[in-house]
Amino acid sequence: MNFFANPLMPTQARPSASQEDATASVSDAMASLFDPFGFGRAAFDYWRDSVERSVLYLDVMRERGNQYLAHMEQTKPSVLGFETEVLVDGRTLPQPTNYELLRVIPPKGVETDPLSRPFVVVDPRAGHGPGIGGFKPDSELGVALRAGHPCYFIGFLPFPEPGQTVEDVVESEVAFLRHVIERHPETTEKPMVVGNCQAGWQLMMAAALEPDVFGPILIAGAPLSYWAGEHGKAPMRYTGGMTGGSWVTALTSDLGNGLFDGAWLVQNFERLNPANTYWKKQYHLFANVDTESNRYLEFERWWGGHVVLGGEEIQYIVDNLFVGNRLSTAQLVTRDGRRIDLRNVRSPVVVFCSRGDDITPPPQALGWIRDLYEDENDIIANEQTIVYCQHDTTGHLGIFVSSSVSRKEHTEFTANMDYIDVMPPGLYETTITHADDHDEGELIERDYLLEFTPRDFDELDREVMHKPEDDRRFATVARISEINLGLYRLYMQPWLQAVMTPEAARLIRRMHPIRLGYKLLSDRNPMTVPLPVMADRIRLSRHPVGEDNLFKAVETMTSDQIVTGLNAFRDARDSATERLFMDIYGQPLLQAAVGLYGDAHVHRRRPGAEPEHRRFIEQRQEELRAKIAKGGSHEAVMRALIYILGGAPATDERNFKRLRASRAALEPNAKLCDFKRLVREQFFILKLDREQALNALPALLKGQSNDEIDAHMSHLEDVLSASGELSEHVASRLTQVGELFDQARPAVQQQVASSPQAPQQAAKDVAEKPAAKPATASTKKATPAKRKTPPEGE
């Protein structure tokens, strides 16, 4: 190695190759003589590499600062990675907002079908700018475009409209969806809508007020139940209590002259993980500066795109969601008197969360289900389908940013939305497995398979971990917050609003520590002038060292120790915060002082127990009871299929694929909405009175020929076999349904079926069916003897 070579020497002044080789050999000989163990060479190589990395790192930070300034100067800053056109500007609506509806133009080589279900992504407005849902090709929008869906994006501008409220934003989103529906008059299915983080609870509010404009809803990382959480985790839920409530939000908005700087929200996120914020993320760039700069800058373009919220908006959010937790208990009422009750949502809801998310952990994403419903039967009674999926490791941003999550979870959600849309009401958990782990490969169109397993509230409680004593603590925080906010508005706010000016507010925003971190390392700082020249020279002759370098290994170990120390600090801080919160707000004297000690419901009432809701359920049951014996073969087949699948532990898209194909053959003109109504109605009839519903099957098939009844049984076997071998329980139910279908056969066939050899012949027929019908093998293996209707709950 040539210790004397100068990487900054002009090319024409450098020695020839032969001269360099001779010099190198002399240098190596001298180095071996004076440094036999190589420590000096390793030290010099590491020193040179670290100096070069330092210059390159600072140059990347300079580029980050320039990128930030250019991004913030744009009228419509966005990191959306697709070309779009504006369809509706929210500033032109009756109640103006800073939101807009964009049509996503498919990239070259991607074709969309205008008859497919529209796909709409709503971006979160939680301090950052828009575009994260379409950040890169492997994103929510990218997945939907490749699946052939017409795609739309609801984004926003950096500054809110004067007087803009959360209700105005919700109404804007409803107006946007109506416009999307008008653009696709030939599509019978309503748009599938995706809400990330903060956009998730906004969408749920909109769907509760206007359920008719929503198709399936996917909410990713959305905190709908902010009081929920597991002890030792999710420390962010204690923030409101440790600051004395939402008066701090009002103070921050007043310092902004009525505007709330989103950089404060970003700072709260960063404080959750100091090791990543203050060291790990930056060190990863420093250690891999030759390869990581582009990825780092691309992400920082969104992470540093701070926007501003209206003071009234953020106050509503903090008071009603983060501190008050009023959305998940149906306590919110709009200005025109409409109650926002999430039980009014008619669309299937898919909740996607992650155990690795410290901003919206699973209890906060799923707790609203327990807040609203008494049990899984209450969900069914409300004709609601709720599906939840939990990732094991990804963080909050990874839920809607990670490429691996998009290629797996979001691809499966998008592909299975029609299936989810017709699933019977209830609570389900999804699991995603690799296609190679299953038979029936020809029925699996992608690399993964999405399976649905019914869940009950005991299983849900293991994720939510609801604790009534914690509810009283958080309710105490909400009361104290109201008191402190009132005192602030009475004594401090008038004075502060009188002295704050728009110019002073802009200066305060510019001096925010996070914003300064970007600006100070940019071309506006004259000390950065030599950085690009030095970085270019270093890139021409870079001298990286390998991981086997002793000093590089020490650097890596030192970095790991710093991360461990910062994590230990975080854990100690979070543990002390939680303990202090529990001790303060668990005091009976404090709870009694705000009128909550001994209060059983402490603001978390369950709306499902109200008398008017019970009357609605009773009325619905009477309507369904009158339809038990009404209908024809379609009702009979669907009722039989739901009954048989009710004995299966799980179902997946293979069943739906075969059911959809057979439905197209049996009912060519049937619409998906009619099919969905049929499925749900027959499900409720079975749930209401299963024995009477099954006994009515022969009456529904009355007048059918033997060939038609055989076709119906073949249809059932084909659908059921799609998920592989039938369990004994499912096969038993299939046999029972076959016997009920036989009762509807013409008289001659009934005589044959009633002969002593009929059951054995039927089993033989099933066993001898051709291999094209996979049900035959499984039915042969698990065909039980004739038995009566299983008892309820089996």
Are 95 and 171 in contact, with CB atoms under 8 Å apart? Answer: yes
Sequence-ordered list of residues with C-beta below 8 angstroms from that of 718, at least 6 positions apart, any chain: 658, 662, 773, 775
Using alpha carbons, list the distances in angstroms from residue 111 to 105, 106, 194, 309. Answer: 10, 7, 21, 37
- Kindly provide the b/e burial profile for residues 98-127, where b requires at least 16 CB atoms within 10 angstroms of the residue's own CB: bbbbbbbebeeeeebeeebbbbbbbbbbbb
pLDDT of residue 780: 37
How high is the pLDDT of residue 5?
44
- As a whole number, mean pLDDT of residues 570-599 equals 91
pLDDT tens column, 229-255: 889 888 889 999 999 999 999 999 999
* 84-225+325-455 under CATH 3.40.50.1820, yes or no: yes
- pLDDT digits 0-9 by tens, 254-273: 999 999 999 999 998 899 99
Mean pLDDT on 130-158: 85
Q: Look at residue 191 in the predicted model and tell me its pLDDT.
A: 93
**Lookup: tokens for 557:** 């170990």
- Least confident range from 46-50, 179-183, 369-373, 657-661: namely 657-661
Mean residue pLDDT across the chain = 83
> Which range among 135-139, 189-193, 401-405 has the greatest average pLDDT?
189-193
Total residues belonging to the chain: 794
Dig out the tokens for 448 from the structure. Answer: 């993964």
Mention every residue, 6+ apart, whose C-beta is less than 8 A from residue 285: 57, 60, 292, 293, 296
Distance separating alpha carbons of residues 563 and 229, to the nearest angstrom: 26
pLDDT at position 544: 93
Alpha-carbon gap, residue 220 to 351, rounded angstroms: 6
Q: Cα torsion for 36, 41, 46, 47, to the nearest 10°?
A: 120
Instruction: Write out pLDDT tens, residues 701-717.
Output: 888 888 888 888 888 88
Lowest-confidence range among 216-230, 668-682, 699-713, 779-793? 779-793
pLDDT for 539 equals 93
The alpha carbon torsion through 454, 459, 465, 467 (nearest 10 deg) reads 100
Which pLDDT score is estimated for 7? Answer: 43
* pLDDT of 605 strictly over 80: no
**Is the predicted pLDDT of residue 496 greater than 60, yes or no?**
yes
Tell me what percent of the residues of the chain surpass a pLDDT of 90.
44
pLDDT at position 15:
53
Q: Give the predicted TM-score (pTM) of the model.
A: 0.82
At residue 193, the 3 state secondary structure works out as strand
Tell me what pLDDT residue 85 has.
93
Note the pLDDT of residue 189.
85
Q: Which helix (H) or strand (E) holds 433?
A: strand 426-434
Say if strands 308-310 and 217-220 run parallel, antiparallel, or are unpaired.
unpaired
More confident residue, 407 or 309: 309
Q: Give 416-467 pLDDT, tens digit per residue.
A: 888 888 888 889 999 887 665 555 545 555 567 788 888 999 999 999 888 8
Is residue 348 predicted with pLDDT exceeding 60? yes
Q: Which residues pair with 451 in a beta bridge?
A: 431, 652
pLDDT at position 729 is: 79
Residue keyed to tokens 């030939």 = 186
**Best CA proximity match to 412, nearest among 350, 346, 356, 347:** 350
Question: Tokens in use for 429?
Answer: 């958990």
pLDDT of residue 374: 86
Question: Over 80: is that where the pLDDT of 56 sits?
Answer: yes
As a whole number, mean pLDDT of residues 599-616 equals 61
Q: What's the pLDDT band for 649 if we cut at 50, 70, 90?
A: low
- Asked whether residue 782 carries a pLDDT value surpassing 80, the answer given is no
Query: Quick check: 350 pLDDT over 60?
Result: yes
- For residue 394, pLDDT over 50 is answered with yes
pLDDT score recorded for residue 768: 46
Indicate if the pLDDT at residue 555 is higher than 90: yes
The full set of domain ranges for the chain reads: 36-69+231-324+466-523+533-609, 84-225+325-455, 611-781
Residue 157 contacts residue 148 (beta carbons within 8 Å):
no
pLDDT band at 167 (very low <50, low <70, confident <90, very high): very high
pLDDT tens per residue, range 89-114: 999 999 999 999 999 999 888 889 88
Instruction: Find the angle CA(413)-CA(265)-CA(121) to the nearest 5 degrees.
Output: 25
- Give the residue, 403 or 123, on which the prediction is more confident: 123
Q: Which residue has the higher pLDDT, 505 or 33?
A: 505
Given a cut of 70, whether residue 545 has pLDDT beyond it is yes
DSSP 251-309: HHHHHTTTEEETHHHHHHHHHH-HHIIIIIHHHHHHHTHHHHHHHHHHHHHHHT---EE
Query: Residue 234's pLDDT is what?
Result: 80
pLDDT at 578 over 60: yes
> Residue 6 has what pLDDT?
45
How many Å apart are CA 640 and CA 637, to the nearest integer? 5
Task: Say yes or no to pLDDT of 658 above 60.
Answer: yes
Q: What is the mean pLDDT of residues 660-678?
A: 65
Least confident of 131-140, 142-151, 542-551, 585-594: 131-140
* Per-position DSSP letters for 491-535, written without gaps between them: HTHHHHHHH--HHHHHHHHHT-HHHHHHHTTSTTSGGGTTHHHHH
Give phi and psi for 671, each to the nearest 5.
Answer: -90, 155
What confidence category does residue 659 fall into, taking pLDDT thresholds of 50, 70 and 90? Answer: low
User: Residue 672: what pLDDT?
Assistant: 67
Give the model's pLDDT for residue 12: 46
- For the ranges 181-185, 577-581, 679-683, 758-762, the lowest mean pLDDT is seen at 758-762
